[in-house]
């Protein structure tokens, strides 16, 4: 059955469908970057509120600024913007159709349609999932990268911007001039202090072309910090087949694990849905939650993905079945990461490690090692190196963290241990490949990338351990290095 509003009542009884009348929904949110994660996470929470008879005026309008987004828009429009979510639970899969999105802005040069949609006073929240590396940050300082060519373009062409942030600024300018008021700018990406980072990017970009508007945005818009969590694999032939096995023809189905978490700072200048009634944690202290998640879960992903790639293990669940990789994860997290993570209500760092071990090991989640290893230049700087800095300052062990960095460096040489090629897997892959190749002869070359390691290259305890581990991996292989670490 082709998925559409007209066929919802004809879907199998085992598939949960919206209980609300979608024709009565009105928009309140524009979401930029409408990938799988958003549809399995934020859109689902809003959908469940709508099922309870709430938030009928908070429906989502999808948006994007990349050519890929236009392809997604067309596929979504053909099925009335509905999405089939398939929960992959080892005890048995289940499915539901989410209907909280009711439109999708055309993707076009200059982003005129997107600007007009966000300028509509009905829109009270503009949310984004644009990946960790999409906020135009200097990797070393985490400050705003005003020299990036996209940023320079938007500063010179504020009425026809290239980036999502430029479009937000243009829309906010129209709202200010029309007296329509601000909207909340909400990041839903895996970045610690994501609201603060979004504020930095938006306000800094606005200041390059209109300082008065930058001040107005900074004073009137809100940028809530949030922590988001759900493992959502990419959609491929397997996912399409899972939807078809349920009796649904969906061009863009989404699979996800049987776990979700969303923790939000209650800072919304123009109102918000009652998300807490759908299980969202509303708190004034997002930092403790996001530190636990980013350092243990996201950091843990980087711990296992690089050796997984080197040893040709295709999935994260496969990495958890590998005794050396699983052992590496557990030892690094418990001995070198947990000491720098504080508990949150209802969860200790140790129990969170046990939780993510179960989640990573879910055999139904075919999350590829390659996907998790992607963009290491952003993910290591965001998920691993902050813990390393804390450990060095506290005098706690760093051997495992140094090994993790050495494994990443070895992965960036582009060759697995079976001789097969690792395809480009980072926005800066060519540069990483060149440095990793130099490191084969002089390991310290890897640490001399100032935009990644900065002063860490001068920390002798880390640098010495890194060079020792990289040399061992080069000479005796990944397995031998991990075995030596586990036996220490």
Domains recognised in the chain with CATH numbers: 5-283 (3.40.50.720), 287-487 (1.10.1040.10)
Q: Give the mean model confidence (pLDDT) for residues 352-359.
A: 96
CB 137 within 8 A of CB 144: yes
Integer Cα distance of 97 and 14 in angstroms: 11
Integer Cα distance of 204 and 215 in angstroms: 10
CB 303 within 8 A of CB 282: no
Confidence of residue 444 (pLDDT cuts 50, 70, 90): very high
pTM of the prediction?
0.85
Model pLDDT for residues 364-376, shown as the tens digit of each residue: 888 899 999 999 9
Q: Which of 426, 98, 71, 22 is nearest to 260 (CA)?
A: 98
pLDDT at position 124: 98
The whole-angstrom distance between residue 29's C-alpha and the CA centroid of its chain comes to 19
Q: Give the mean model confidence (pLDDT) for residues 56-69.
A: 94
Integer Cα distance of 462 and 232 in angstroms: 34
Q: Across all residues in the chain, what is the average pLDDT?
A: 95
Confidence of residue 359 (pLDDT cuts 50, 70, 90): very high
The pair phi, psi for residue 136, each rounded to 5°, is 55, 55
pLDDT at position 140: 66
Model pLDDT for residues 207-247, shown as the tens digit of each residue: 999 999 999 999 999 999 999 999 998 899 999 999 999 99
pLDDT at position 366: 84
Any idea which of 183-192, 330-339, 475-484 has the lowest mean pLDDT? Answer: 183-192
CB 226 within 8 A of CB 286: yes
Q: Give the mean model confidence (pLDDT) for residues 393-411.
A: 98
For the chain, give the percent of residues with pLDDT over 90: 92
Model pLDDT for residues 291-324, shown as the tens digit of each residue: 999 999 999 999 999 999 999 999 999 999 999 9
Q: Give the mean model confidence (pLDDT) for residues 253-261.
A: 95
Give the Cβ contact number of residue 473 at 10 Å. Answer: 25
The whole-angstrom distance between residue 103's C-alpha and the CA centroid of its chain comes to 23
Model pLDDT for residues 123-181, shown as the tens digit of each residue: 999 999 998 779 999 866 779 999 999 999 999 999 999 999 999 999 999 999 999 99
Q: Give the mean model confidence (pLDDT) for residues 54-70.
A: 95
């Amino acid at each position: 059955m082709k998925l559409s509003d007209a066929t919802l009542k004809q879907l199998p009884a085992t598939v949960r469908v919206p209980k609300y009348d979608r024709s009565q929904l009105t928009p309140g949110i524009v979401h930029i970057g409408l990938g799988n994660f958003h549809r399995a996470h934020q859109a689902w929470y809003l959908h469940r509120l709508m099922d309870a008879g709430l938030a009928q005026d908070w429906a989502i309008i999808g948006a994007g600024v990349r050519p890929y987004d236009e392809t997604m828009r067309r596929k979504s429009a053909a099925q009335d913007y509905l999405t089939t979510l398939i929960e992959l639970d080892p005890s048995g899969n289940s499915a539901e159709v989410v209907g909280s999105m009711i439109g999708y802005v055309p993707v076009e040069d200059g982003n005129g349609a997107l600007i007009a949609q966000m300028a509509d006073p009905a829109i009270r929240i503009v949310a984004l999932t644009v990946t960790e590396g999409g906020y135009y940050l200097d990797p070393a300082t985490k400050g705003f990268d005003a020299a990036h060519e996209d940023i320079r373009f938007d500063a010179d062409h504020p009425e026809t911007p290239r980036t999502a942030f430029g479009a937000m600024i243009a829309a906010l300018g129209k709202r200010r001039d029309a007296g329509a008021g601000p909207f909340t700018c909400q990041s839903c990406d895996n970045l610690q202090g994501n609201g603060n980072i979004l504020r930095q990017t938006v306000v800094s970009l606005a200041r390059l072309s209109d300082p008065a508007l930058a001040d107005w945005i900074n004073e009137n818009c809100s940028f809530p910090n949030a922590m988001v969590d759900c493992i959502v694999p990419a959609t491929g032939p397997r996912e399409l087949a899972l939807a078809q096995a349920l009796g649904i023809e969906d061009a863009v189905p989404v699979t996800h694990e049987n776990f979700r978490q969303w923790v939000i700072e209650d800072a919304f200048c123009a109102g918000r849905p009652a998300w807490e009634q759908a299980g969202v944690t509303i708190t004034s202290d997002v930092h403790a939650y996001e530190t636990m998640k980013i350092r243990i879960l996201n950091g843990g992903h980087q711990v296992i993905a690089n050796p997984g790639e080197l040893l040709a293990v295709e999935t994260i669940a496969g990495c958890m079945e590998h005794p050396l990789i699983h052992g590496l994860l557990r030892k690094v997290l418990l001995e070198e990461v947990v000491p720098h993570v504080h508990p949150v209500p209802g969860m200790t760092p140790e129990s969170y490690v046990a939780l993510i071990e179960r989640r990573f090991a879910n055999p139904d989640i075919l999350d590829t090692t390659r996907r998790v290893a992607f963009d290491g230049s952003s993910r290591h700087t965001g998920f691993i190196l902050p813990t390393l800095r804390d450990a060095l300052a506290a005098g706690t062990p760093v051997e495992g963290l140094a090994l993790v960095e050495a494994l990443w460096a070895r992965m960036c040489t582009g060759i697995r241990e079976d001789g097969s090629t690792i395809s480009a897997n980072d926005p800066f892959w060519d540069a990483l490949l060149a440095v990793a190749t130099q490191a084969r002869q002089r390991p310290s070359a890897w640490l001399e990338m100032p935009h990644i390691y900065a002063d860490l290259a001068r920390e002798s305890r880390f640098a010495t351990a890194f060079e020792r581990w990289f040399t061992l991996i080069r000479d005796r292989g990944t397995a031998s290095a991990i075995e030596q670490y586990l036996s220490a």
